[in-house]
Structure 1
């Protein structure tokens, strides 16, 4: 009987050590990330949460996010820029502002027959044309079959010297739009133009198949 009792005690101690070692290995595996070789432990692993900064899709440039704007189009806008909307002369004007450096994008539909006609009117109208603004000076002017663009600078009474790239174009559904990029004159022209280039490349009206 004494011999049997001794064997039972030894078996009990061995089982206890084995259970303690297994639990220790599981704790290391889930708590420190080490692979213990003990197999998966679904009851211990917490479910993964959505990423706070999801990777952009292959068609979205790094540092930008793709927005489906409620006005009726998809466009890439720099991350962190804030959106606002106001009513323009003939259509809503959507404004995306950079909180850090004073850059801005404006997007709106235009009612004229061609982009060139719309841009000429916006520049030279005797009542509201921006050629009448203080310090106005043309920096560049170009156009194509379905688009027209004007780069200029002027002196804003509140914001100081500003530079603007005003691009008017025919979208994939045939509708005419304007996208204007503005920023302080002290910034490089390339920095002011970059969000406009991204917006034009990604711009797609709702319910339209774009390349």
Structure 2
């Protein structure tokens, strides 16, 4: 039975209808309270969504490693140091910064060879190379006048001293061969060895007169064994060949290895 509700100013349904649609039959005051609470809930939800949306847009910067960040910082510091034009730009093809002059003998420079190793030798020497049966190519650095040479190559024997014993067998076949020494010498790994000799005829050498040779073989930081061989005239004494070998050995860094700068 439907009756007229004077407060709501509408016809009210039966009790069964009110059970299925209770919100339609609430009094006006209760409807106002519900609408007010609903509005508050919607406002809070809207505010929460707005804050979340703003936070989501504020994305963090892409991750950079400490090394990369440090490099950028160093570059910025360099650019602002007042170096002249203030640009701080360097071309991709430019050489690496020169090493401190006090750590190299006068007239020497450090070089990164195409075979991957680092070595120091007199400025202005010419480079040549040829294939090797083992390891890196055999690399020759020669003075402009052609009387001095530094040779770099990798050896396959298990120890530097054993390698020199094998090499001495061939050196003895040279005209005028005269051994100065063949011995193990203290080194970074304790396995360095050196063969010093003179000979009237040395393959690949130019000019006449007796040649002085220092063949130094050693185990490098990568665990491989290498040779540094200095050739020069015996007439001017052994000091220039000694300096050549000692400097090259001090600055030598094998391929694929990070080495500290001597004296840096």
TM over 0.5: yes
Write out per-residue CA displacement over residues 148-187 of structure 1, whole angstroms, 9 at most, x where no aligned residue: 1011011127633211000000001111000000011212
User: Larger C-alpha radius of gyration, 1 or 2?
Assistant: 2
Cα displacement (A) at 1:101: 6.1
Segment of structure 1 superposing worse, 154-163 or 141-150: 154-163
Q: In structure 2, what is the equivalent of residue 176 of structure 1?
A: 225
Instruction: Give the conservation status (yes or no) of the 8 Å contact 1:56–1:62.
Output: no
Instruction: Check if 1:141 corresponds to 2:191.
Output: no
Write out per-residue CA displacement over residues 43-69 of structure 1, whole angstroms, 9 at most, x where no aligned residue: xxx959x9xxx8642544431111111
Q: Structure 2 CA distance, aligned partners of 1:198 and 1:65? A: 10
Instruction: Check if 1:68 corresponds to 2:112.
Output: yes
SS in 1 for 2:198: strand
Q: In structure 1, what is the equivalent of residue 68 of structure 2?
A: none
Cα displacement (A) at 1:99: 1.4
Cα displacement (A) at 1:196: 0.9
Calculate the TM-score normalised by the size of structure 2.
0.55
Structure 1 residues not aligned, in runs of 5+:
1-45
Instruction: Check if 1:104 corresponds to 2:145.
Output: no
Instruction: Give the conservation status (yes or no) of the 8 Å contact 1:81–1:97.
Output: yes
Cα displacement (A) at 1:208: 1.9
**Compared CA separation, residues 123 and 192, structure 1 to 2 (3 A):** same
Q: Structure 2 CA distance, aligned partners of 1:110 and 1:69? A: 18
1:45-124 equivalent positions in 2, closer than 5 A: 56-57=99-100, 59-91=103-135, 92-100=137-145, 102-124=147-169
Segment of structure 1 superposing worse, 90-99 or 138-147: 138-147
Instruction: Give the conservation status (yes or no) of the 8 Å contact 1:84–1:94.
Output: yes
Number of residue equivalences: 160
Q: Structure 1 CA distance, aligned partners of 2:248 and 2:134? A: 22
Instruction: Give the conservation status (yes or no) of the 8 Å contact 1:82–1:98.
Output: yes
Q: Structure 2 CA distance, aligned partners of 1:89 and 1:132? A: 22
RMSD: 2.6
SS in 1 for 2:248: helix
Cα displacement (A) at 1:206: 2.9
